[in-house]
Amino acid sequence: MDKDIEYRFLTHAGFRKFISCLIDGFVVYGTIKKDGFPAFGPITDSKDLVLARTPTHLSAKEFFFPQREALLEFDMASGSHSPIVESRDQVVIGAHPCDLAGLGLMDRVFSTGSTDVNYLARRERTLIIGADCMPDDYCFCESLGTETIDKGFDLFLTEIKSGLLVSIGSEKGEAILSKYTKPLPPKDVHLRESAKALEKKKRSFKARLSAPKEELPGIYAKSDAHPVWEKIGAICYGCGSCNNVCPTCYCFDVKDEVTPDLSGGERVRVWDGCTLEEFAKVAGDHNFRRSRADRLRHRFNRKFRYLSDKFNSLFCVGCGRCSRTCLVKINITEVTNELIRDARTEDEYLGVPAAARKG
């Protein structure tokens, strides 16, 4: 257990009462069962909430960076325009550690340079309650150090036999918890149960990267001509599913939508993705990444190489969503391990010492 984090304990009944109180005071979203699978959705009754052990199809990113949102409205006659910043007090319950790490990266993206007022307004007015999880066949967050997290949440839930151990992540979280329920100090048995749950989680990972995360930017830097890109490019549908489910993809397109009578309209932004054919197309029908192989190589490098210098972090959190949702079973762990294997084989042939492989 992290000695720097304060913990509280809630019984199952106390937790349900807490959720009911949140519903009375906020717009609440949380993990539910949808067609038999975990998904984020509106919570209007505490019974709706099902703390998912495996990842949701989409991450919690959509509550801060919607798939479609209006940025401003304009009047054609006067030439005037006014910004639209939509935000409301909301609670998001059930984000797993890897998703919280992803939100931390999104925070850095949208607060760097020209800050994004829409994203930051939603973030400011959101109470985030994370929840622990168990890996499935695609999760590899342990390889990237995101299987646990000690920040980026207001409260964090770990289910144990007798109730829930609650980690306090912010003053706001502690105040809300104390306002709506009566949390108890955790007993040693609660802390031991939580520690055992974490040990079980660490033993349960089936997907792993075969190199430390610190080596990945250097490995990807040497991979531009690797045959794996043509191999997976030949089967890729270019559907963009991997972009849409990724918790750290933040590319968007901006469009002006004019009313039928041409009196005005809205400027909207919608999610976009680098694996889509139109993404890198410019005037004259020129496309900087014409083939699907080129587009896949770009996407993988965005996760493991291109952004590491700017943000001092990889932009993959190991959730496995892109592999899980891919129609042709392109697996990000398998692709990366193939690059790792061949890079190490080449290094051994050239006599490159292990200490120099981060380059």
Reported as a single tens digit per residue, the pLDDT across 279-312 is 999 999 899 899 999 999 999 999 999 999 899 9
Helix H or strand E segment including 258: strand 252-258
Distance CA(343)–CA(223), nearest Å, equals 8
Task: Tell me what the mean pLDDT of segment 70-80 comes to.
Answer: 94
Q: Give strand pairing partners of 75.
A: 264
pLDDT tier for residue 350 given thresholds of 50, 70 and 90: low
Distance CA(241)–CA(323), nearest Å, equals 10
Handedness of CA 351, 353, 358, 359 (dihedral sign): negative
**pLDDT the model gives residue 353:** 58
Distance CA(33)–CA(38), nearest Å, equals 5
Reported as a single tens digit per residue, the pLDDT across 286-295 is 998 999 999 9
Would the pTM of this model clear 0.75, i.e. be above it?
yes
Percent pLDDT > 90 in the chain is 89
Q: Give strand pairing partners of 155.
A: 129, 168
**pLDDT the model gives residue 4:** 75
**pLDDT the model gives residue 5:** 85
Reported as a single tens digit per residue, the pLDDT across 24-62 is 999 999 999 998 889 999 999 999 999 989 999 999 999
H-type helices in 168-240, by residue range? 171-180, 188-203, 216-221, 228-233
Distance CA(117)–CA(123), nearest Å, equals 10
Give residue 114's identity as a one-letter amino acid code.
Answer: S
Classify strands 163-168 and 81-83 as parallel, antiparallel or unpaired: unpaired
Task: Tell me what the mean pLDDT of segment 186-196 comes to.
Answer: 94
Reported as a single tens digit per residue, the pLDDT across 229-271 is 999 999 999 999 999 999 999 999 999 999 999 999 999 999 9
Read off the tokens for 219: 């490995």
Distances (CA, A) of 260 to 263, 264, 265: 8, 9, 9
Distance CA(2)–CA(297), nearest Å, equals 38
Burial of 352 (0-12, 13-18, 19+ CB in 10 A): middle
**pLDDT the model gives residue 36:** 86
| Whether pLDDT at 98 is above 60 | yes
Distance CA(40)–CA(45), nearest Å, equals 14
Distance CA(297)–CA(222), nearest Å, equals 12
Residues 6 or more apart in contact with residue 160 via CB below 8 angstroms: 190, 193, 194, 197
Reported as a single tens digit per residue, the pLDDT across 217-239 is 999 999 999 999 999 999 999 99
